[in-house]
Protein backbone atom coordinates (compact mmCIF):
# COMPACT_ATOMS: atom_id res chain seq x y z
CA UNK A 1 0.00 0.00 0.00
CA UNK A 2 1.50 3.32 -1.05
CA UNK A 3 1.14 6.61 0.79
CA UNK A 4 -0.55 8.12 -2.28
CA UNK A 5 -3.33 5.51 -2.13
CA UNK A 6 -4.14 6.74 1.40
CA UNK A 7 -4.25 10.46 0.74
CA UNK A 8 -4.94 11.23 -2.94
CA UNK A 9 -8.54 12.53 -2.29
CA UNK A 10 -6.86 15.51 -0.59
CA UNK A 11 -5.86 16.72 -4.05
CA UNK A 12 -9.50 17.60 -4.81
CA UNK A 13 -10.06 20.43 -2.29
CA UNK A 14 -6.48 21.69 -2.47
CA UNK A 15 -6.55 21.82 -6.28
CA UNK A 16 -9.95 23.56 -6.13
CA UNK A 17 -8.47 26.19 -3.77
CA UNK A 18 -5.92 27.05 -6.47
CA UNK A 19 -8.39 26.95 -9.34
CA UNK A 20 -11.00 29.13 -7.62
CA UNK A 21 -8.48 31.94 -7.17
CA UNK A 22 -7.92 32.26 -10.94
CA UNK A 23 -11.42 31.29 -12.08
CA UNK A 24 -13.96 33.78 -13.39
CA UNK A 25 -16.84 34.40 -10.98
CA UNK A 26 -19.33 33.14 -13.55
CA UNK A 27 -17.87 29.62 -13.28
CA UNK A 28 -17.63 29.54 -9.50
CA UNK A 29 -20.91 27.71 -8.98
CA UNK A 30 -19.97 25.07 -11.55
CA UNK A 31 -16.64 24.48 -9.80
CA UNK A 32 -18.42 23.97 -6.49
CA UNK A 33 -20.81 21.44 -8.04
CA UNK A 34 -17.94 19.49 -9.60
CA UNK A 35 -15.98 19.54 -6.32
CA UNK A 36 -19.02 18.31 -4.34
CA UNK A 37 -19.60 15.42 -6.76
CA UNK A 38 -15.94 14.43 -6.71
CA UNK A 39 -15.67 14.62 -2.92
CA UNK A 40 -18.75 12.47 -2.34
CA UNK A 41 -17.55 10.08 -5.03
CA UNK A 42 -14.31 9.39 -3.14
CA UNK A 43 -16.29 7.87 -0.28
CA UNK A 44 -17.33 4.92 -2.47
CA UNK A 45 -13.90 4.25 -3.99
CA UNK A 46 -12.66 1.98 -1.15
CA UNK A 47 -15.29 -0.52 -2.31
CA UNK A 48 -13.21 -0.96 -5.49
CA UNK A 49 -9.84 -0.55 -3.72
CA UNK A 50 -9.19 2.72 -5.58
CA UNK A 51 -8.70 4.56 -2.30
CA UNK A 52 -7.43 2.96 0.91
CA UNK A 53 -7.78 4.86 4.19
CA UNK A 54 -5.12 3.81 6.67
CA UNK A 55 -7.69 2.20 9.00
CA UNK A 56 -11.40 2.08 9.83
CA UNK A 57 -11.21 5.08 12.16
CA UNK A 58 -9.61 7.16 9.41
CA UNK A 59 -12.38 6.13 7.02
CA UNK A 60 -15.08 6.97 9.61
CA UNK A 61 -13.76 10.48 10.18
CA UNK A 62 -13.08 10.98 6.48
CA UNK A 63 -16.75 10.28 5.78
CA UNK A 64 -17.69 12.89 8.39
CA UNK A 65 -15.28 15.53 7.07
CA UNK A 66 -16.14 14.91 3.42
CA UNK A 67 -19.93 14.88 3.82
CA UNK A 68 -20.06 18.04 5.91
CA UNK A 69 -17.42 19.69 3.73
CA UNK A 70 -19.67 19.04 0.72
CA UNK A 71 -22.63 20.49 2.62
CA UNK A 72 -20.57 23.60 3.44
CA UNK A 73 -19.82 24.15 -0.25
CA UNK A 74 -23.48 23.63 -1.14
CA UNK A 75 -24.81 26.01 1.52
CA UNK A 76 -22.08 28.61 0.90
CA UNK A 77 -23.41 29.37 -2.59
CA UNK A 78 -26.79 30.89 -1.64
CA UNK A 79 -25.60 32.01 1.80
CA UNK A 80 -22.61 34.03 0.62
CA UNK A 81 -24.68 35.45 -2.25
CA UNK A 82 -27.26 36.68 0.28
CA UNK A 83 -24.69 37.94 2.78
CA UNK A 84 -22.53 39.69 0.19
CA UNK A 85 -25.55 41.61 -1.08
CA UNK A 86 -25.83 43.66 2.09
CA UNK A 87 -22.17 44.11 3.05
CA UNK A 88 -21.40 44.42 0.02
CA UNK A 89 -18.49 42.11 -0.85
CA UNK A 90 -16.10 42.61 -3.74
CA UNK A 91 -15.78 39.54 -6.04
CA UNK A 92 -12.17 39.13 -4.86
CA UNK A 93 -13.46 38.95 -1.30
CA UNK A 94 -15.81 36.12 -2.28
CA UNK A 95 -12.95 34.27 -4.00
CA UNK A 96 -10.81 34.59 -0.89
CA UNK A 97 -13.63 33.07 1.15
CA UNK A 98 -13.81 30.03 -1.12
CA UNK A 99 -10.03 29.63 -1.15
CA UNK A 100 -10.11 29.55 2.65
CA UNK A 101 -13.08 27.18 2.68
CA UNK A 102 -11.48 24.67 0.30
CA UNK A 103 -8.26 24.76 2.34
CA UNK A 104 -10.28 24.23 5.51
CA UNK A 105 -12.15 21.25 4.04
CA UNK A 106 -8.89 19.76 2.73
CA UNK A 107 -7.23 20.17 6.13
CA UNK A 108 -10.14 18.45 7.87
CA UNK A 109 -9.90 15.53 5.45
CA UNK A 110 -6.13 15.41 6.08
CA UNK A 111 -6.85 15.03 9.81
CA UNK A 112 -8.48 11.73 8.87
CA UNK A 113 -6.23 10.45 6.09
CA UNK A 114 -2.61 11.15 6.98
CA UNK A 115 -1.01 8.28 8.92
CA UNK A 116 1.80 10.05 10.74
CA UNK A 117 1.42 11.64 14.15
CA UNK A 118 3.53 14.68 13.28
CA UNK A 119 1.59 15.24 10.05
CA UNK A 120 -1.68 14.93 11.96
CA UNK A 121 -0.53 17.89 14.03
CA UNK A 122 0.32 19.74 10.80
CA UNK A 123 -3.14 18.98 9.39
CA UNK A 124 -4.79 20.27 12.57
CA UNK A 125 -2.65 23.42 12.39
CA UNK A 126 -3.69 23.93 8.77
CA UNK A 127 -7.34 23.53 9.75
CA UNK A 128 -6.84 26.05 12.55
CA UNK A 129 -5.10 28.69 10.42
CA UNK A 130 -7.55 28.40 7.51
CA UNK A 131 -10.53 28.65 9.87
CA UNK A 132 -8.96 31.64 11.66
CA UNK A 133 -8.85 33.37 8.28
CA UNK A 134 -12.49 32.44 7.64
CA UNK A 135 -13.65 33.68 11.05
CA UNK A 136 -12.66 37.23 10.12
CA UNK A 137 -14.36 37.02 6.70
CA UNK A 138 -16.72 39.90 7.44
CA UNK A 139 -13.74 42.07 8.50
CA UNK A 140 -15.68 43.84 11.24
CA UNK A 141 -14.09 44.81 14.54
CA UNK A 142 -15.79 41.97 16.40
CA UNK A 143 -14.85 39.35 13.79
CA UNK A 144 -11.21 40.48 13.81
CA UNK A 145 -11.12 40.35 17.61
CA UNK A 146 -12.67 36.86 17.58
CA UNK A 147 -10.14 35.63 15.00
CA UNK A 148 -7.25 37.09 17.01
CA UNK A 149 -8.42 35.45 20.24
CA UNK A 150 -8.92 32.15 18.39
CA UNK A 151 -5.40 32.41 16.97
CA UNK A 152 -3.71 33.28 20.27
CA UNK A 153 -5.37 30.59 22.39
CA UNK A 154 -5.15 27.74 19.89
CA UNK A 155 -1.65 28.51 18.63
CA UNK A 156 -0.33 28.66 22.18
CA UNK A 157 -1.98 25.29 22.63
CA UNK A 158 -0.61 24.20 19.26
CA UNK A 159 2.97 24.58 20.45
CA UNK A 160 2.14 22.52 23.53
CA UNK A 161 0.49 19.91 21.32
CA UNK A 162 3.51 19.71 19.05
CA UNK A 163 5.89 19.18 21.94
CA UNK A 164 3.53 16.62 23.50
CA UNK A 165 3.27 14.74 20.21
CA UNK A 166 7.04 14.58 19.78
CA UNK A 167 7.59 13.44 23.38
CA UNK A 168 4.96 10.69 23.14
CA UNK A 169 6.15 9.38 19.78
CA UNK A 170 9.85 9.40 20.71
CA UNK A 171 9.15 8.22 24.26
CA UNK A 172 7.35 5.13 22.97
CA UNK A 173 10.36 4.21 20.84
CA UNK A 174 8.88 5.19 17.47
CA UNK A 175 10.35 7.14 14.59
CA UNK A 176 8.73 10.51 13.91
CA UNK A 177 8.67 9.73 10.20
CA UNK A 178 6.96 6.34 10.35
CA UNK A 179 3.79 6.06 8.24
CA UNK A 180 1.57 4.22 10.73
CA UNK A 181 -0.76 5.10 13.59
CA UNK A 182 -1.04 1.60 15.05
CA UNK A 183 0.48 1.27 18.52
CA UNK A 184 3.26 -1.30 18.77
CA UNK A 185 3.17 -3.47 21.89
CA UNK A 186 6.47 -5.21 21.21
CA UNK A 187 9.25 -5.09 23.78
CA UNK A 188 10.96 -1.91 22.66
CA UNK A 189 12.72 0.60 24.92
CA UNK A 190 10.39 3.30 26.24
CA UNK A 191 10.98 6.46 28.21
CA UNK A 192 8.11 6.65 30.71
CA UNK A 193 9.06 10.12 31.98
CA UNK A 194 9.08 11.52 28.45
CA UNK A 195 5.69 9.96 27.67
CA UNK A 196 4.29 11.17 31.00
CA UNK A 197 5.21 14.78 30.18
CA UNK A 198 3.96 14.39 26.61
CA UNK A 199 0.53 13.23 27.76
CA UNK A 200 -0.10 16.41 29.75
CA UNK A 201 1.28 18.70 27.04
CA UNK A 202 -0.85 16.94 24.41
CA UNK A 203 -3.95 17.26 26.60
CA UNK A 204 -3.40 21.03 26.81
CA UNK A 205 -2.58 21.48 23.13
CA UNK A 206 -5.24 19.31 21.54
CA UNK A 207 -7.76 20.28 24.23
CA UNK A 208 -7.35 23.91 23.17
CA UNK A 209 -7.84 22.96 19.51
CA UNK A 210 -10.96 20.99 20.44
CA UNK A 211 -12.47 23.77 22.53
CA UNK A 212 -12.57 21.59 25.65
CA UNK A 213 -12.81 23.49 28.94
CA UNK A 214 -10.87 25.20 30.40
CA UNK A 215 -9.30 25.97 26.98
CA UNK A 216 -12.63 26.93 25.38
CA UNK A 217 -12.40 30.72 25.70
CA UNK A 218 -11.92 31.30 21.96
CA UNK A 219 -14.86 29.17 20.88
CA UNK A 220 -18.05 31.22 21.56
CA UNK A 221 -16.73 34.33 19.79
CA UNK A 222 -15.23 32.43 16.85
CA UNK A 223 -18.42 30.47 16.23
CA UNK A 224 -20.63 33.53 16.47
CA UNK A 225 -18.53 35.66 14.10
CA UNK A 226 -17.68 33.05 11.45
CA UNK A 227 -19.94 32.56 8.41
CA UNK A 228 -22.51 29.84 9.13
CA UNK A 229 -20.87 27.13 6.91
CA UNK A 230 -17.57 27.69 8.74
CA UNK A 231 -19.22 27.59 12.18
CA UNK A 232 -20.82 24.26 11.24
CA UNK A 233 -17.49 22.75 10.13
CA UNK A 234 -15.75 24.03 13.26
CA UNK A 235 -18.38 22.52 15.52
CA UNK A 236 -19.25 19.35 13.67
CA UNK A 237 -15.83 18.27 12.36
CA UNK A 238 -12.77 20.17 13.56
CA UNK A 239 -13.45 19.94 17.30
CA UNK A 240 -14.18 16.21 17.14
CA UNK A 241 -11.13 15.60 14.95
CA UNK A 242 -8.83 17.18 17.52
CA UNK A 243 -10.25 14.92 20.25
CA UNK A 244 -9.84 11.80 18.10
CA UNK A 245 -6.18 12.67 17.42
CA UNK A 246 -5.64 13.21 21.15
CA UNK A 247 -7.23 9.84 21.88
CA UNK A 248 -4.93 8.15 19.34
CA UNK A 249 -1.94 9.68 21.14
CA UNK A 250 -3.26 8.52 24.52
CA UNK A 251 -3.75 4.99 23.17
CA UNK A 252 -0.19 5.06 21.84
CA UNK A 253 1.18 6.23 25.20
CA UNK A 254 -0.90 3.97 27.46
CA UNK A 255 1.36 0.90 27.10
CA UNK A 256 4.45 2.95 27.98
CA UNK A 257 3.15 4.00 31.41
CA UNK A 258 1.19 1.95 33.97
CA UNK A 259 -2.50 1.44 33.34
CA UNK A 260 -4.79 3.31 30.98
CA UNK A 261 -4.88 6.46 33.10
CA UNK A 262 -4.13 8.93 30.24
CA UNK A 263 -7.74 8.50 29.14
CA UNK A 264 -8.86 9.73 32.58
CA UNK A 265 -7.72 13.17 31.43
CA UNK A 266 -10.49 13.02 28.81
CA UNK A 267 -12.97 12.47 31.64
CA UNK A 268 -11.69 15.57 33.44
CA UNK A 269 -11.82 17.75 30.32
CA UNK A 270 -15.22 16.33 29.38
CA UNK A 271 -16.91 17.01 32.70
CA UNK A 272 -15.40 20.51 32.87
CA UNK A 273 -16.84 21.22 29.42
CA UNK A 274 -20.31 20.16 30.54
CA UNK A 275 -20.03 22.38 33.62
CA UNK A 276 -19.09 25.39 31.46
CA UNK A 277 -21.94 24.73 29.03
CA UNK A 278 -24.46 24.30 31.86
CA UNK A 279 -23.29 27.56 33.44
CA UNK A 280 -23.68 29.73 30.34
CA UNK A 281 -26.11 28.21 27.86
CA UNK A 282 -29.29 29.54 29.50
CA UNK A 283 -28.04 33.15 29.38
CA UNK A 284 -27.35 33.37 25.63
CA UNK A 285 -29.44 35.75 23.55
CA UNK A 286 -27.67 35.18 20.24
CA UNK A 287 -28.57 32.02 18.33
CA UNK A 288 -25.02 31.30 17.13
CA UNK A 289 -23.53 31.79 20.60
CA UNK A 290 -26.16 29.44 21.99
CA UNK A 291 -25.04 26.71 19.58
CA UNK A 292 -21.40 27.52 20.34
CA UNK A 293 -21.92 26.69 24.03
CA UNK A 294 -23.88 23.63 22.97
CA UNK A 295 -20.80 22.59 20.97
CA UNK A 296 -18.69 22.78 24.14
CA UNK A 297 -21.20 20.43 25.76
CA UNK A 298 -21.18 17.91 22.94
CA UNK A 299 -17.42 17.84 22.45
CA UNK A 300 -17.28 17.20 26.18
CA UNK A 301 -19.66 14.26 25.71
CA UNK A 302 -17.41 12.80 23.00
CA UNK A 303 -14.40 13.15 25.31
CA UNK A 304 -16.35 11.43 28.11
CA UNK A 305 -17.32 8.53 25.85
CA UNK A 306 -13.71 8.01 24.83
CA UNK A 307 -12.61 8.30 28.44
CA UNK A 308 -15.16 5.76 29.68
CA UNK A 309 -13.97 3.20 27.15
CA UNK A 310 -15.90 0.07 26.22
CA UNK A 311 -19.36 0.78 24.86
CA UNK A 312 -18.80 4.48 25.54
CA UNK A 313 -16.36 4.49 22.62
CA UNK A 314 -19.13 3.29 20.32
CA UNK A 315 -21.29 6.13 21.62
CA UNK A 316 -18.51 8.69 21.13
CA UNK A 317 -17.91 7.63 17.51
CA UNK A 318 -21.63 7.65 16.77
CA UNK A 319 -21.93 11.05 18.45
CA UNK A 320 -19.28 12.51 16.15
CA UNK A 321 -21.68 11.78 13.29
CA UNK A 322 -25.05 12.50 14.94
CA UNK A 323 -23.88 15.72 16.57
CA UNK A 324 -22.34 16.83 13.27
CA UNK A 325 -25.66 16.41 11.45
CA UNK A 326 -27.72 18.23 14.07
CA UNK A 327 -25.28 21.03 14.77
CA UNK A 328 -24.72 21.68 11.06
CA UNK A 329 -28.49 22.05 10.63
CA UNK A 330 -28.68 24.42 13.60
CA UNK A 331 -25.79 26.63 12.46
CA UNK A 332 -27.24 26.77 8.94
CA UNK A 333 -30.55 27.89 10.41
CA UNK A 334 -28.78 30.50 12.52
CA UNK A 335 -27.00 31.72 9.38
CA UNK A 336 -30.31 31.87 7.50
CA UNK A 337 -31.82 33.92 10.31
CA UNK A 338 -28.85 36.32 10.12
CA UNK A 339 -29.24 36.57 6.35
CA UNK A 340 -32.91 37.50 6.72
CA UNK A 341 -32.19 40.04 9.46
CA UNK A 342 -29.07 41.78 8.06
CA UNK A 343 -26.58 40.15 10.38
CA UNK A 344 -28.75 39.75 13.47
CA UNK A 345 -29.61 36.44 15.13
CA UNK A 346 -30.26 37.70 18.65
CA UNK A 347 -33.35 38.27 20.74
CA UNK A 348 -35.74 40.06 20.61
CA UNK A 349 -35.03 41.15 17.00
CA UNK A 350 -35.33 37.62 15.60
CA UNK A 351 -38.19 36.21 17.67
CA UNK A 352 -41.28 34.65 16.13
CA UNK A 353 -39.53 32.60 13.43
CA UNK A 354 -42.41 30.15 13.05
CA UNK A 355 -44.59 33.06 11.97
CA UNK A 356 -42.19 35.08 9.82
CA UNK A 357 -40.10 32.24 8.33
CA UNK A 358 -42.02 28.96 8.83
CA UNK A 359 -39.56 26.74 6.91
CA UNK A 360 -36.56 28.07 8.82
CA UNK A 361 -38.48 27.98 12.09
CA UNK A 362 -39.71 24.43 11.49
CA UNK A 363 -36.23 23.15 10.63
CA UNK A 364 -34.84 24.95 13.67
CA UNK A 365 -37.43 23.22 15.88
CA UNK A 366 -36.44 19.88 14.31
CA UNK A 367 -32.76 20.50 14.94
CA UNK A 368 -33.42 21.52 18.53
CA UNK A 369 -35.42 18.33 19.13
CA UNK A 370 -32.42 16.34 17.92
CA UNK A 371 -29.74 18.25 19.81
CA UNK A 372 -31.72 17.94 23.04
CA UNK A 373 -31.30 14.17 22.76
CA UNK A 374 -35.00 13.44 22.45
CA UNK A 375 -35.95 10.00 21.13
CA UNK A 376 -36.21 8.77 18.41
CA UNK A 377 -33.54 11.13 17.03
CA UNK A 378 -30.05 9.68 16.64
CA UNK A 379 -28.27 11.81 19.31
CA UNK A 380 -30.46 10.11 21.91
CA UNK A 381 -28.88 6.75 21.05
CA UNK A 382 -25.30 8.02 20.94
CA UNK A 383 -25.72 9.83 24.26
CA UNK A 384 -27.35 6.72 25.72
CA UNK A 385 -24.36 4.60 24.68
CA UNK A 386 -21.97 7.12 26.26
CA UNK A 387 -23.90 7.04 29.55
CA UNK A 388 -24.04 3.22 29.45
CA UNK A 389 -20.27 3.28 28.94
CA UNK A 390 -19.92 5.30 32.12
CA UNK A 391 -22.04 2.83 34.07
CA UNK A 392 -20.25 -0.19 32.60
CA UNK A 393 -16.88 1.31 33.53
CA UNK A 394 -17.97 1.58 37.16
CA UNK A 395 -17.91 5.39 37.24
CA UNK A 396 -21.46 5.67 38.58
CA UNK A 397 -21.09 8.98 40.45
CA UNK A 398 -19.48 10.66 37.45
CA UNK A 399 -22.22 9.33 35.18
CA UNK A 400 -24.92 10.70 37.51
CA UNK A 401 -23.16 14.08 37.46
CA UNK A 402 -23.12 13.96 33.64
CA UNK A 403 -26.86 13.23 33.56
CA UNK A 404 -27.64 16.14 35.89
CA UNK A 405 -25.50 18.53 33.84
CA UNK A 406 -27.17 17.36 30.63
CA UNK A 407 -30.59 18.00 32.16
CA UNK A 408 -29.49 21.51 33.14
CA UNK A 409 -28.18 22.22 29.62
CA UNK A 410 -31.25 20.79 27.91
CA UNK A 411 -33.49 22.77 30.25
CA UNK A 412 -31.64 25.99 29.43
CA UNK A 413 -32.02 25.44 25.68
CA UNK A 414 -35.65 24.39 26.02
CA UNK A 415 -36.44 27.56 27.97
CA UNK A 416 -34.77 29.77 25.35
CA UNK A 417 -36.10 28.32 22.11
CA UNK A 418 -39.77 29.39 22.44
CA UNK A 419 -38.53 33.01 22.35
CA UNK A 420 -37.05 32.42 18.89
CA UNK A 421 -39.78 30.19 17.54
CA UNK A 422 -42.87 32.08 18.67
CA UNK A 423 -43.42 35.83 18.89
CA UNK A 424 -43.81 36.94 22.53
CA UNK A 425 -47.06 38.66 23.48
CA UNK A 426 -49.27 40.18 20.81
CA UNK A 427 -46.56 41.62 18.56
CA UNK A 428 -46.72 40.52 14.93
CA UNK A 429 -44.16 40.68 12.12
CA UNK A 430 -44.19 40.68 8.36
CA UNK A 431 -43.52 37.31 6.75
CA UNK A 432 -40.18 36.96 4.93
CA UNK A 433 -39.82 35.25 1.56
CA UNK A 434 -37.58 32.22 2.09
CA UNK A 435 -35.52 31.43 -1.04
CA UNK A 436 -35.38 27.70 -1.78
CA UNK A 437 -31.63 27.63 -2.56
CA UNK A 438 -31.07 28.71 1.04
CA UNK A 439 -33.57 26.21 2.47
CA UNK A 440 -32.72 23.06 0.50
CA UNK A 441 -29.37 22.24 2.22
CA UNK A 442 -31.06 22.54 5.61
CA UNK A 443 -33.98 20.46 4.38
CA UNK A 444 -31.57 17.70 3.32
CA UNK A 445 -29.94 17.86 6.76
CA UNK A 446 -33.40 17.68 8.32
CA UNK A 447 -33.97 14.38 6.50
CA UNK A 448 -30.65 13.11 7.89
CA UNK A 449 -31.62 14.22 11.38
CA UNK A 450 -34.84 12.19 11.16
CA UNK A 451 -33.66 9.11 9.27
CA UNK A 452 -29.95 9.31 8.54
CA UNK A 453 -28.38 9.60 11.96
CA UNK A 454 -28.24 5.86 12.45
CA UNK A 455 -28.02 4.94 8.78
CA UNK A 456 -24.25 5.22 8.42
CA UNK A 457 -23.24 2.69 11.13
CA UNK A 458 -26.11 0.51 9.89
CA UNK A 459 -24.75 0.53 6.34
CA UNK A 460 -21.15 -0.11 7.35
CA UNK A 461 -21.35 -1.94 10.70
CA UNK A 462 -18.00 -3.71 10.25
CA UNK A 463 -16.14 -0.44 9.61
CA UNK A 464 -17.91 1.24 12.55
CA UNK A 465 -17.04 -1.69 14.84
CA UNK A 466 -13.41 -1.76 13.71
CA UNK A 467 -13.07 1.99 14.26
CA UNK A 468 -14.27 1.52 17.83
CA UNK A 469 -11.87 -1.40 18.40
CA UNK A 470 -8.97 0.90 17.48
CA UNK A 471 -10.09 3.15 20.34
CA UNK A 472 -10.17 0.41 22.98
CA UNK A 473 -13.69 -0.94 22.48
CA UNK A 474 -13.77 -4.69 23.09
CA UNK A 475 -16.78 -6.64 21.87
CA UNK A 476 -17.85 -9.94 23.34
CA UNK A 477 -16.56 -11.71 20.23
CA UNK A 478 -13.15 -10.07 20.11
As a whole number of angstroms, the distance between CA 296 and CA 403 comes to: 16
pLDDT at 184: 64
pLDDT tens per residue, range 156-188: 999 999 999 999 999 988 889 888 888 765 567
pLDDT tens per residue, range 287-305: 999 999 999 999 999 999 9
pLDDT at 424: 63
pLDDT tens per residue, range 204-246: 999 999 999 999 999 999 998 999 999 999 999 999 999 999 9
As a whole number of angstroms, the distance between CA 409 and CA 62 comes to: 30
Amino acid sequence: MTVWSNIWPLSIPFAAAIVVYFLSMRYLRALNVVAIIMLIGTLFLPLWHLFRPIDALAYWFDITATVFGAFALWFSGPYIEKESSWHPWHPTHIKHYYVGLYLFVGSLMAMALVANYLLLWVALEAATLSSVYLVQTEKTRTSLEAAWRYLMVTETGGLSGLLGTVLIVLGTGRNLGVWSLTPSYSHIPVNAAMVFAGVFLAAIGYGAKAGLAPFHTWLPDAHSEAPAPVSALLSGVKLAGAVLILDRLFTLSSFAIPGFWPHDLLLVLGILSLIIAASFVAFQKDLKRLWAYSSIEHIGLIALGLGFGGIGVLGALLHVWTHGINKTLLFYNAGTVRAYNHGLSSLPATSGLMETTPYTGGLLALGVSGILGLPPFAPFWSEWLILMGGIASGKIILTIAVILLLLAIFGGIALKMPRWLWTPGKSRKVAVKEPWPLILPSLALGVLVVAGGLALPGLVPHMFHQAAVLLRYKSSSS
